[in-house]
Structure 1
Amino acid sequence: MKLIRSPWLSAVTALILGISIGIVSSVHAEKSQSRLPVDDVRMLSQVLERIKQAYVEDVDDSELLESAIEGMLSGLDPHSDYLTPEDFADLRESTSGEFGGLGIEITLDDTGFVRIVAPIDDTPAYRAGLQSGDLITQINDTPVKGMTINDAVTLMRGKPGTSLTLTIAREGENKPLEFEITRDIIQVTSIRSRMLEPGFGYVRISQFQERTGQDFIEAMESLRDENDGSLDGLVLDLRNNPGGVLQASVDVVDALISDGLIVYTEGRLPNSASRFTAHGDDPSDGVNLVVLINGGSASASEIVAGAVQDHQRGVIMGTRSFGKGSVQTILPLDQEHAIKLTTARYFTPSGRSIQAQGIVPDIEVRPGKLTQENGNPYYTEADLAGHLANPEGENGSRDRAEKGEESQEQQLIDDYQLYQALTMLKGMRILNAAR
């Protein structure tokens, strides 16, 4: 069969060869292995030309080439992607903490559907009840199977106040679930903190952003101030945290340990190998620590959990994490376009790769709800006839103690994992006091 030549084909071939030359120059020594096979390049050129000549409709050259690039990248792994100018702008917005949409982190499942890694706290998706692990099978009336991530994101984005319907397949459910969700401007608050009980603080990191490390230090200082300058224990909640900025996760670990390796990365390019170590001080002051993780804890969350576990800095509690142990780098193609390419794997201080494995908690605690018995089966002094009255009134001190604590107590009852984390911290305090 004769290969038809054309100016368009020559330009495509030049583009392909130009890309391969760029790759060869960047990896230096791997000359022969990095060269694209001539026969394969010729076949790709022939496919492009046949599409131009025989497809039922006229195809725009730029659209065809963008589709080819998207196909190359999506075939590598679920996290490599082609970024249009709109995609690039969206990426910058998401790391700065404000963007439009539903508030979910998604990935492409090997079934061809879009899987939810985690809903982001206090967003439309979170309030609607979407869960980590849900499969999105349909967006409005459009089936998702076979879509790229970009296609799915484009359909889910829209003006704030408009709504869409997601059809969800959830493990344990016999039939698909439908959620009607109203789009909104997503303003992610990276850090939330509060006292669980006197002496025991709680910090929730919902996503790792540029300021998360500094915000984490400030949250610990605020909790200490609220508790007369010290803390007996701290719960760091990373459940359903899909990750974010690598440096932010390093900063959080740096605030928990005084020395040692935090994480390191390895890849084929020299600049993809890096090591991150602690800087010598410990803003946490060695506070007893429990870190909560689950299947929605991914990427940067797993860096934190893995480092805490390897340094035996605290107890990891919950369920196995997501298992994303790869690093993506944004590589510009021109002033408006870029590719997001997986360039390295990251490893915990002990050399563990959590890619497709996840972090296994030290103590597995499944989600649940604490059920307490109603009523008091015992008589107390107050039940005895003629008992002495409390000078502050029958319920005075109790009312003051319970006022403001009822909502926190209810949160512990509703969140069994958090309840167990607090119980663990109390046990650690007792053990430390006995030493």
Structure 2
Amino acid sequence: MFPTNAPLRHLKAVLLPVALLTLPLPLQAASDVEPAGDDLPVAEIQAFAEVFERIKRAYVEEVDDATLMRNAMRGMLSELDPHSTYLDADAYRSLQESTQGEFGGVGIEVGKRDGQLTVITPIDDTPASRAGLQAQDIILRIDDTPTEGMSLQEAVDLMRGDPGTEIRLTIMREGENAPREVAIEREIIRTESVKQELLAPGYGYLRVSQFQTRTGEQVVDALETLRDEGPLKGLVLDLRNNPGGVLQAAVDVADAFLERGLVVYTEGRLPDSAMRFSARRDTAAPDVPLVILINGGSASAAEIVAGALQDQRRGVVMGTESFGKGSVQQIMPLGEDEALKLTTARYFTPSGRSIQALGIEPDVQVVRGRLEVADNTSLRVREADLEGHLAGNGEKDARSELSERLRDDYQLGEALNLLKALNVLGERGAAATVESSDDG
């Protein structure tokens, strides 16, 4: 018989500021949703009850009702799409910890590609990024447990743990002939979503590593900090390896650079899923020349920002094709300690592009690499290399960490070069206008 004490409850949808693309308004409770008009599939329910009963009676080991029901819910959700899942008490608690920006783990976002557990991106300044994990690495084992057939939530549960404990990941990287094992010590992961610095006088760098509730405010503060150094001639907005986050945060970041126009809209089956978000007139940086960096680790909310700025012709998108996650998830609690994470809508860029499984194509394709000098001029000794040399007027340290990073990060160097070129063209255009006016 079908167990009458099975944990079936009405669904009540509530928004949580989680690190996945979420709608900013709650959905209706399941009891409020209009029925589909079809009767319950009695035959299928009877078949399910029979399977349930046969497992209870004949499986080699005894399984309690609650475990079977949770497994059934996991199965229903896992077959929908890679982002919908059932969250038991432990998984729900882990999710709530991550919404607070602090949890014990290694600091990677994972997803499924062709059925394989794949790194979407390592989060900046975490054990995973320091251990050298990269976007598109395939995780074959977590400690001694193979990941084949493992759900995303099971993988996350295995990788999270107490700070100070060690985890071993066996990964396969494109272009390598054999798997490698990486030992990583878990830490408290505190995610700071925005960083800024000057790449050169007048040229700013804004790194957004993920979209949290306050990311929009932090971007505005970072822009003010950069302006304190002097007028901005150009800005690089780095969204590489950004796994996404809260939808409203993505809207706020795009709004920092747009004075008007649509940012993103969403469409789903429920009325509350159809929403439109537009830029406000009060804008932090409406006129600064902008280059947006993306790559295969730029997903979800990061793609919203890149797509909006690209469609509005606000900046030049540079790098490689983005990840292609164009769906929105809602967190729907089941009572107090369980929940569903359910895909409820798709999002679209201002021009109507769906990014789902397609991604954002950059305006300028630039692959990641390191610039190598063919004639080995870097080995030659110059006056500036001699110890105790006379300082030149305005001499600066050519071996700063920033210049090293620009040499190592070819995409970032090219973004800075493009901004400088745009600025030169703008100055020449203005000079030509003044000259033409004087001639008249």
Among 127, 130, 135, the residue aligned to 2:138 = 135
Cα deviation for residue 85 of structure 1 reads 2.5
Among 32, 35, 54, the residue aligned to 2:58 = 54
Q: Deviations over 1:157-216 (max 9, x none)?
A: 221111111111111111111101111111111111100000100011111111110100
- The answer for the alignment partner of 2:15 in structure 1 is none
Q: Distance in 1 between matches of 2:53 and 2:29?
A: 24
Relative to the length of structure 2, the TM-score reads: 0.88
Cα deviation for residue 401 of structure 1 reads 3.0
Cα deviation for residue 9 of structure 1 reads 4.0
SS state at 1:193 partner: strand
1:64 lines up with 2:68 in the alignment: yes
1:109 lines up with 2:104 in the alignment: no
CA pair 23-396 structure 1, distance change in 2 beyond 3 A: closer
Q: Deviations over 1:66-117 (max 9, x none)?
A: 0100110111000001112322232233233222100000112332x31111
Q: Distance in 2 between matches of 1:407 and 1:10?
A: 65
Residue type of the alignment partner of 1:145: E
- The answer for the alignment partner of 2:309 in structure 1 is 308
Structure 2: runs of 5 or more not aligned: 12-27, 430-440
Q: Distance in 2 between matches of 1:405 and 1:233?
A: 23
Cα deviation for residue 394 of structure 1 reads 6.4
> Contact 2:168/2:184 (CA < 8 Å) preserved in 1?
yes
- The answer for the alignment partner of 1:216 in structure 2 is 219
- The answer for the alignment partner of 2:25 in structure 1 is none
1:263 lines up with 2:264 in the alignment: yes
Cα deviation for residue 402 of structure 1 reads 1.7
Q: Distance in 2 between matches of 1:205 and 1:172?
A: 29
Q: Distance in 1 between matches of 2:44 and 2:279?
A: 47
SS state at 2:228 partner: helix
SS state at 1:281 partner: coil
Relative to the length of structure 1, the TM-score reads: 0.89
Cα deviation for residue 285 of structure 1 reads 3.4
- The answer for the alignment partner of 2:93 in structure 1 is 89
Residue type of the alignment partner of 1:396: A
SS state at 2:178 partner: coil
Structure 1: runs of 5 or more not aligned: 1-5, 383-392
Q: Distance in 2 between matches of 1:44 and 1:26?
A: 26
Cα deviation for residue 152 of structure 1 reads 1.2
1:182 lines up with 2:176 in the alignment: no
> Contact 1:27/1:268 (CA < 8 Å) preserved in 2?
no
Mapping of residues 172-251 of structure 1, within 5 Å: 172-227=175-230, 230-251=231-252
Aligned residues: 408
Q: Distance in 2 between matches of 1:223 and 1:353?
A: 34
Structure with the largest fraction of helix = 1
SS state at 1:396 partner: coil
- The answer for the alignment partner of 2:20 in structure 1 is none
Q: Distance in 1 between matches of 2:4 and 2:406?
A: 67
- The answer for the alignment partner of 1:430 in structure 2 is 424
Structure possessing the higher relative contact order (Cα contacts under 8 Å, 6 or more residues apart): 2
Superposition CA RMSD, Å: 2.4
Cα deviation for residue 62 of structure 1 reads 0.6
> Contact 1:96/1:209 (CA < 8 Å) preserved in 2?
no
Percent of aligned positions that are identical: 54
> Contact 2:172/2:180 (CA < 8 Å) preserved in 1?
yes
CA pair 23-68 structure 1, distance change in 2 beyond 3 A: farther
